[in-house]
Structure 1
Amino acid sequence: MEFVNKEYFLLLLLLVPYLIWYLLYGRKSEPSMRMSDTYAYQYAPKSLRVRLAWLPMLLRIVTFILIVLVLARPQTRNDWGKRTVEGIDIMLAMDVSTSMLAEDLKPNRIEAAKSVAAEFISGRPDDNIGLTIFAGEAFTQCPMTTDHTSLLNLLQNVRTDIAARGLIEDGTAIGMGLANAVGRLKDGKAKSKVVILLTDGSNNMGDISPLTAANIAKSFGIRVYTIAIGSKTMAPYPMPVGGTVQYVNMRADVDVETLSEIASTAGGHFYRATNTAELKKIYEDIDKLEKTKMDVKKFSKHYDAYQPFAMAAFITMLLEVLLRLVVFRRIP
């Protein structure tokens, strides 16, 4: 916490003459009763009210100090903070073709993949993570970042209808998705760089073959983990017919051999995920990767923090007035 108007702290110097006045003259100005002899009261016990007679004066001083703090305008810091963390560079390459709507994983393949990816991101707060999505084409949904809140928001917005709406071509361009992720990772400073490729199909689109992209990843020291999502036989797929949706059984079309070869070429591992538990298995290998130190900049937004001091000043002032007029009331 910092104070914008520090010059107001000079007002605290006024407490010095006030205390001197109170000790020398303040008590003498209070009402008193003259007696010829006070010997009889010399050893009389003092009541709690007499012992706490100084309390209103103390509350008055505390109120003044709190008001000065409010005038000084306390604020949180508004700057970029730097800290050093240990993490790795990771790009998630996720298939968003329409076949990812198959419901052999619950509720469907795309939602299961997003759920596991979100859990993975949340479990690695110090990693630099980005997201590439691909169907017949590939593009970066989120560049590598340690701002995982923004990344998770962008992940939740991933949908398979971008191909159906004509934003990109439908299909499965595994090579393009992998190449896009490699392009984001190649200039990273981390010692460990990883691509996690999730798909439910075989490469049938794009200008770059999956194995060519795998060799490019290998040349940059990037490991590639591939995950084949979907059952090994048939899967229920929602097919729009007229204004309704009918389910048809769709045969699995995952190119297991190519995905396995990609992982082997780029020093990673291949996984076959027919359920969520198998998807989570990738965590075990990622956690074993070497970590590297990197500097992270974080922006903290400022806000005025005078409210607690103002509330405390109001309470102490009200308490002082009540004590002076009720508990310690003096009748001249």
Structure 2
Amino acid sequence: MTFASPLWLLALLALPALWWAGRRGGAAPGVRYSVADDAAALGTTGWAHVRWLPGALLAAAFGLGAVALARPQERDASLERSTEGIDVVLALDVSTSMTAEDFVPNRFEAAKAVAAEFVRGRTSDRIGLVVFAAQAYTQAPLTLDYPFLLTMLQEVRMGVIEDGTAIGTALATATARLRDSDAASKVVILLTDGQNNRGQVDPQTAAEAAAALGVKVYAIGVGDEGGAVRGAGPFGGAFFGTAPEVDEEALRAVAQTTGGRYFRATDAQALREIYAAISDLERTEIEETVLLDVRELYPWFLWPALACLVLSVGLSTTRLREVP
């Protein structure tokens, strides 16, 4: 409980003096009789023992009135947040070259782990997931259900679709997921370690379509050139090869066309820092409004004060009236 006019509480300091005045510290009042026997025959009643009551009620009325004038209040503050969320689609390369072990344990697993950290760091943004190799498909639509999204990210496997790197098709698929979005910002984070060599849509055409829809692309090229690649051979077993060179020129052009940026990550820590930088660039703005609900409590003190005053005046002029 707070007071809107707390200075009125200083009036409570006068209560002891008012109480003393109410008790009338001088000689007790009475009625003079010519014969003592006549006075003794009158006797006393219970009212004689509460002759102090009008003064006490007057002091109570004064104290309660002072508290009422101080305007006691109950304040209930609530915080209202409004956000304009960002829609983000993660486009993840799952081609065979992502098994290169220049990341720990490899590019594919490191990319999934860092993407999961990115998802956990968002609060009010819808996020979707597109995976691609020779073709692209939507692993998870735009959603605020982050546990579901993390589960779908964890379930991404290599070898489910034909090998290859269809960067243009992946970007077109991710952009299609954002076509009907009315978010304040629409973003595609495209991660790949190779060059566009499959699909019917070239990356630049897909980038121009994304720009027309207001979609911003952040492209990430991962891996050291010449990293070791391990994959399944045509007759079982495993094969080893050399990771393809990232087409940085094409990825940089895609990012610039849409107003985004291109990044290069050569290890997991660099990839983590890139996602952190993108997260800072595309941060949701949160507007906070404090709503204050004030409840006036002075009637709880004012009405008892008036009741005490009326009762004090009534008793002092009737049953407890004093005569000199």
With normalisation by structure 2, the TM-score equals 0.60
Does residue 228 of structure 2 align to residue 230 of structure 1?
no
Does residue 245 of structure 2 align to residue 253 of structure 1?
yes
Task: Output the amino acid matched with 2:109.
Answer: E
Does residue 126 of structure 2 align to residue 133 of structure 1?
no
* Displacement of 1:139: 1.0
Give me the whole-angstrom Cα distance separating, in 2, the residues matched to 1:292 and 1:186. Answer: 22
Q: Which residue is equivalent to 2:87?
A: 89
Does residue 165 of structure 2 align to residue 172 of structure 1?
yes
Q: Cα deviations across residues 151-202 of structure 1 (Å, max 9, x unaligned)?
A: 0000000011203xxxxx3211100100011011121111111100011111
Aligned identity (percent) is 49
* Displacement of 1:253: 2.5
Does residue 211 of structure 2 align to residue 218 of structure 1?
yes
Give me the whole-angstrom Cα distance separating, in 2, the residues matched to 1:243 and 1:162. Answer: 16
* Displacement of 1:249: 3.9
Structure having the higher Rg: 2
Give me the whole-angstrom Cα distance separating, in 2, the residues matched to 1:194 and 1:230. Answer: 23
RMSD: 2.0
Answer yes or no: is the 8 Å Cα contact 2:190–2:220 preserved in 1: yes
Give me the whole-angstrom Cα distance separating, in 2, the residues matched to 1:234 and 1:103. Answer: 7
Which of 144, 152, 160 is the matching residue for 1:162? 160
Task: Output the amino acid matched with 1:266.
Answer: T
Matching of residues 312-331 of structure 1 within 5 Å? none
Structure 1 residues 251 and 113: alpha-carbon distance in aligned structure 2, compared to 1, 3 A threshold = closer
Answer yes or no: is the 8 Å Cα contact 1:231–1:252 preserved in 2: no
Give me the whole-angstrom Cα distance separating, in 2, the residues matched to 1:150 and 1:180. Answer: 20
Answer yes or no: is the 8 Å Cα contact 2:100–2:243 preserved in 1: no
Which of 177, 185, 193 is the matching residue for 1:200? 193
Which of 179, 185, 209 is the matching residue for 2:202? 209
Structure 1 residues 133 and 241: alpha-carbon distance in aligned structure 2, compared to 1, 3 A threshold = closer
Q: Which residue is equivalent to 1:278?
A: 270
Task: Output the amino acid matched with 2:117.
Answer: E
Answer yes or no: is the 8 Å Cα contact 1:94–1:199 preserved in 2: yes
Answer yes or no: is the 8 Å Cα contact 1:88–1:292 preserved in 2: no
Q: Cα deviations across residues 117-159 of structure 1 (Å, max 9, x unaligned)?
A: 0000000121110001111111111000000000000000001
| Aligned pairs, number | 206
Q: Which residue is equivalent to 1:312?
A: none
* Displacement of 1:283: 1.8
Answer yes or no: is the 8 Å Cα contact 1:89–1:192 preserved in 2: yes
Answer yes or no: is the 8 Å Cα contact 1:225–1:270 preserved in 2: yes
Give me the whole-angstrom Cα distance separating, in 1, the residues matched to 2:179 and 2:283. Answer: 17
Unaligned stretches of 5+ residues in structure 1: 1-82, 164-168, 295-332
Give me the whole-angstrom Cα distance separating, in 2, the residues matched to 1:236 and 1:107. Answer: 12
